[in-house]
Amino acid sequence: MKVFELTRIRITLWYVLIVMSISVMFSAVIYRGVIGNIESSFKNAEIRFEKNEGMMSLRKIAEVKNSNVEVTREVLHGLFLEELNNSRKNILFLLLVVNLVILILSSLVSYLLAGKTLLPIEEIIKEQKRFIADASHELKTPLTSLKTSIEVSIRSGKLPKDIQKLFQYNLEDVDALNELIDKLLNLSSLESKEPVFDHLDIKEAIETAFRRVKYLADEKKVSINIDTKNYQLVGDIFSLTELFTILFDNGIKYCKQGGVIDLKVKPCKNHLVIIVRDTGIGINKKYLPNIFDRFYRIDSSRTSSTKSGYGLGLSMAKKIVENHNGNISVSSEITKGTTFTIKLPLKQ
C-alpha cells in the first residue's frame, strides 16, 4: 500500500535523523575531548622538557626524525604540531567511519522498526475496509427487496393517498441508501483491488462519462464542452470513466441553471493534463484542503435545491487519479466557479 510505504519511509527518516543527531553530537564531544587531552599532554611534555626533567625519550624521537637538527623547544613544538595534526586526521577519519556505519545500521533498523510499528495499524485499516465492503454487500439484498415491496405496494393503487405519499418518500430514501451503498462499494473496491491497466483512449472515457450525465445536464440546462483528441494512455478505462462522471456530476450539481462546464485535455511532456472548469457556485478557499476527504461536504444547504450527495465523489476521484500515479488539484473562486486539474502519466 503506497501510503504505508511512504509513511514507513518518513518514520525511518525521522528515526535516522534523531540517531544521527545524537551520534554527531557525541562524535563532536569525543573529538573535542580527545584533541583537548592530546594538546594538554603535549603542553605538559613541553614544560617538562624545558625544565630538563628527563625527556630522553622525547629527545630521542626528535633526534631520530631530524637527526641533523638540534633538539630545541621549537623543534619539539613543531614535531608535536605534526603529530597533533596526524592524530586529528586519524580521529576524524575514525569518527566518520563510525558515523557512516551508524547511519547504515540505523537506516536498516529504523526501516524494520517502522514497518513493525505500522503493521497493526495497516491491519486495522484493512479490517475496517473489509468491514465496510462486507456490510455494504449485506445491506444490498434487504434493500433491494424493500424497494421491490414498496414499488409493488405503490403500483397496486390500493393504498390511501397519504400512505401512498409516505411510501413514495420511503422509496426515495431507499434509493438514496442504495446510491450510498454503491458508492461505498465502489470506493472499497478502488482501495482494495489492483486496477486493471490497458491501452485506452481518453476521449472514449470522457465521452462515456458525458453520455451518463447528459440527461442531468439537459435537465438543468448546463452545457458541457469537451475539447480533446484521441490521446492514448495506459490506465483503467472503467475507473477513468467514473472519474469524469464524478467531475461532470459535481459540475452540474454545483452550477446554476444555464451554467457551463469546459473540459480540455492537452499533452504535456510525459503527461496528459485534463482541466475541468465550471461556472458554478465555487468553493470557499478555507474548505479547499478538505474537499477530497471521505464524507466531507461543505454546508449541505448550498445544494438543498438540487440533488445532495454524501461527500464521497471527490475522495473516489482522488483515489482513481492516485491509482494511475497522477495527481489532482483544485482552484476555485466563490460565485465564479471551480477548476479541477488532473495530471495523468501517459505510461504507467
Please give, one letter per residue, the 3-state secondary structure of the chain. Answer: CHHHHHHHHHHHHHHHHHHHHHHHHHHHHHHHHHHHHHHHHHHHHHHHHHCCCCCHHHHHHHHHHCCCCCCCHHHHHHHHHHHHHHHHHHHHHHHHHHHHHHHHHHHHHHHHHHHHHHHHHHHHHHHHHHHHHHHHHHHHHHHHHHHHHHHHHHHHCCCCHHHHHHHHHHHHHHHHHHHHHHHHHHHHHHHHCCCCCEEEEHHHHHHHHHHHHHHHHHHHCCEEEEECCCCEEEECHHHHHHHHHHHHHHHHHCCCCCCEEEEEEEEECCEEEEEEEECCCCCCHHHHHHCCCCCCCCCHHHHCCCCCCCCCHHHHHHHHHHHCCCEEEEEEECCCEEEEEEEEECCC
Question: Which residue from 241, 274, 245 is spatially nearest to 345, judged by alpha carbons?
Answer: 274
Q: In this chain, which stretch among 199-207, 209-217, 231-239, 250-258 interacts with ligand ADP, using CB under 6 A?
A: 250-258
For ligand ADP, which residue of 297, 318, 324, 343 counts as binding (CB under 6 A)? 297
Of 195 and 311, which has the nearer Cβ to ligand ADP?
311
Considering the complex, what minimum distance in angstroms separates the CB of residue 298 from ligand ADP? 3
Does 250 bind ligand ADP (CB under 6 A)? Our answer is yes
* Cβ–Cβ < 8 Å for 337, 277: yes
Considering the complex, what minimum distance in angstroms separates the CB of residue 7 from ligand ADP? 24
Does 298 bind ligand ADP (CB under 6 A)? Our answer is yes
Query: What dihedral angle (degrees, nearest 10) is formed by the CA atoms of 156, 157, 162, 163?
Result: -20
Q: Return d(Cα 313, Cα 187) in angstroms, integer.
A: 9
Does 242 bind ligand ADP (CB under 6 A)? Our answer is no
Of 59 and 220, which has the nearer Cβ to ligand ADP?
220
Does 259 bind ligand ADP (CB under 6 A)? Our answer is no
Residues 200-229 that bind ligand ADP (CB under 6 A): none
Considering the complex, what minimum distance in angstroms separates the CB of residue 182 from ligand ADP? 13
Considering the complex, what minimum distance in angstroms separates the CB of residue 315 from ligand ADP? 6
For ligand ADP, which residue of 235, 251, 259, 326 counts as binding (CB under 6 A)? 251
Of 114 and 243, which has the nearer Cβ to ligand ADP?
243
Considering the complex, what minimum distance in angstroms separates the CB of residue 27 from ligand ADP? 52
* Cβ–Cβ < 8 Å for 247, 280: no
Residues 269-288 that bind ligand ADP (CB under 6 A): 278, 280-283
Considering the complex, what minimum distance in angstroms separates the CB of residue 99 from ligand ADP? 49
Residues 306-335 that bind ligand ADP (CB under 6 A): 309-315
Q: In this chain, which stretch among 47-55, 127-135, 230-238, 290-298 interacts with ligand ADP, using CB under 6 A?
A: 290-298
Which residue is nearest to ligand ADP, using beta carbons?
309
Of 200 and 291, which has the nearer Cβ to ligand ADP?
291
Of 16 and 283, which has the nearer Cβ to ligand ADP?
283
Does 177 bind ligand ADP (CB under 6 A)? Our answer is no
Q: In this chain, which stretch among 57-65, 124-132, 199-207, 289-297 interacts with ligand ADP, using CB under 6 A?
A: 289-297
Residues that bind ligand ADP (CB under 6 A): 250-251, 254, 278, 280-283, 291, 296-298, 309-315, 338
